[in-house]
Structure 1
């Protein structure tokens, strides 16, 4: 997935410095969200462990977050 993000940023014409900044932001934001929404993280992990389709994984996240509101 990281390689796909790099390809998209390259396609959009981002410089190497801009690409690195966006990737750092994405990683930091992801870690923050996962830390802030531990119930969603657990629900997602359970869905992935059961090899559920991506739609079910998204639903697991949304259901857990909607219970606590963002």
Structure 2
């Protein structure tokens, strides 16, 4: 993941759609991922979700979903 000029870019060899969410607080990332999961698992969508988080500070707690 490369972040520059207020843009995030990444490459992957997986055929899928990705959403990047900028959530400064861990609790917001969990809430947003849960809300997105509930919306997109409703018919007619079929989806598999994996949430990755990068902590800005080593003292922060770990993200758990």
TM-score of the superposed pair, with normalisation by structure 2 = 0.33
Structure with more strand by fraction: 2
Structure with more helix by fraction: 1
Which structure's CA Rg is the greater one?
A: 1
TM-score of the superposed pair, with normalisation by structure 1 = 0.31
